[in-house]
Structure 1
Amino acid sequence: MNSASHTSTPTLSDEEIIKRVTQGEKHLYKNLIRKYNLRLYRIGMSIVNDDAEVEDIMQTTYLNAYSQLATFQNKSSFNTWLTRILINESLLHKKKSIKRNQLAMASEKEDLHNDTPLKNLMNKELKAILEKAVSNLPEKYRLVFVMREIEEMSTQETMDVLDLGESNVKIRLTRAKEMLRNELSDYYKTTQLFEFNLIRCDKVANFVMAKINP
């Protein structure tokens, strides 16, 4: 999902797009949505592990970010700021789900190992093994692993987003790799992991833009 192939102004920086959106060019916000859909989806999946729910969380994230664009200050990058909103929304959603389903928690935990919603997306044997193994990592290790190894975010970006020190990021990444090594060896990293295809990208982008500019 290359944002450059779907936008008329691929050379604009995030800062320039934000400036122009806040000045009335609302349609440019779609550029940011397409640019960051895949990253938000992968990170959301590492927390919530339900692709339909993650789409809802992404839409809420973009709408919340849009409503705060006028007060956004470049103390951090837009990417970091947007990812923090996504993580907060994901954790809030997860917390509410746990409260609603306390009596069913034991069976739900078992389902995460046996029949997760990710299985509907898996069309290759290796991909199925990879996604199941990553999904079964404890959340704090899974989140760092997805950011660093799948999304290829830098250590500094990961530190900023998760508000962790450098040593904690490195320790969690090392631990995640150790958990995966016996089962997956060198095959854990793939661009197909947690796919977010063009149709679904369009769905999120069109939903958010319809809310912003009906």
Structure 2
Amino acid sequence: MRDALSLSDQDLVEQIKAGEDAPFEALLERYRDRVYRLVVSFTKNPADAEEVLQDVFLTVFRKIASFEHRSSFSTWLYRITVNTALMKLRSRGPVQESIDEYLPQFTKDGRHARMVVDFTQGPEKLLLRKEREQVLREAIEALPPDYKVVLVLRDLEGLSNEEVAEIVGASVLAIKARLHRARLVLRGRLERYVTASGAQS
């Protein structure tokens, strides 16, 4: 097992294809925590995350013979993870909140139809840190799954637009659009919170 852990992903995959078991254990050891962390950021439920984690590695075990190295192993694994997590999220039922209400609306002369809250003056002064974090967590949780996945992979996991596009199976332009809309939703939720907090004080 120690020898297997020192091998590259590509070498491990080739050994698995040749019928060896230890390399799969090494891949599992190498990626288990990363996959679990990613899934928890989608599901927000440790029990669901454990179930998705098992499904992901079962899928990898079943399909690894068809892996062709057209992308890196980690990208292929993330794609399986995202698809499995999305199936779990969709099985919960539809998201109640529409993102359309957070998209910019303009008057006929091209001005914003509603007031835009200025966050440049330091949101720490506007919100207590814990409250703001809670509002953001709730806003991320309320995103439709396709937007949530892109936001988590791009902003929380730090992947590039190109990597996210490959994982999700969409164009870079589509990823940028989903990310922009997801960020608009988060901003809209924060604006509502700030406006409501200001009205109460």
TM-score bucket of the superposed structures, by smaller chain: 0.5 to 0.7
Match of 2:51 in 1: 56
Percent same amino acid among aligned pairs?
Answer: 30
Using the size of structure 1 for normalisation, the TM-score is 0.60
Equivalent residues in 2 for 1:9-158 (5 A)?
10-98=5-93, 125=130, 128-158=134-164
Based on CA coordinates, which of the two structures has the bigger radius of gyration? 2
Alignment correspondent of 1:118? none
Task: Write the distance in 2 (CA, Å) between the matches of 1:136 and 1:93.
Answer: 15
Q: Greater RCO between the two (CA within 8 Å, min separation 6)?
A: 1
Given that residues 65 and 82 in structure 1 are in contact (C-alpha distance below 8 angstroms), is that contact kept between their aligned partners in structure 2?
Answer: yes
In structure 2, the partner of 1:166 is 172
What runs of 5+ residues in structure 2 fail to find an aligned partner? 98-128, 192-201
Question: Contact conserved, 2:36 with 2:53, CA < 8 A, in 1?
Answer: yes
> How far is the alpha carbon of 1:44 from its aligned partner?
2.8
Are the aligned partners of 1:41 and 1:55 in contact in 2 as well (CA < 8 Å)? yes
Measure the CA separation in 1 of the matches of 2:26 and 2:155: 25
* Count of residue pairs the alignment pairs up: 159
SS of 1:68 mapped into structure 2: helix
Mapped partners of 1:170, 1:128: distance in 2: 25
Greater CA drift, 154-163 or 129-138: 129-138
After superposing on structure 2, the runs of 4+ consecutive aligned residues of structure 1 that deviate more than 6 Å are 182-185
Cα distance in 2 between the residues matched to 1:150 and 1:43: 9
Give the superposed CA RMSD.
3.3
Offset, 1:60? 1.4
- Cα distance 1:179–1:70, how it changes in 2: closer, same or farther (>3 A)? same
5+ long unaligned stretches in structure 1: 1-5, 99-104, 111-123, 186-214
What residue identity is the alignment partner of 1:59?
Q
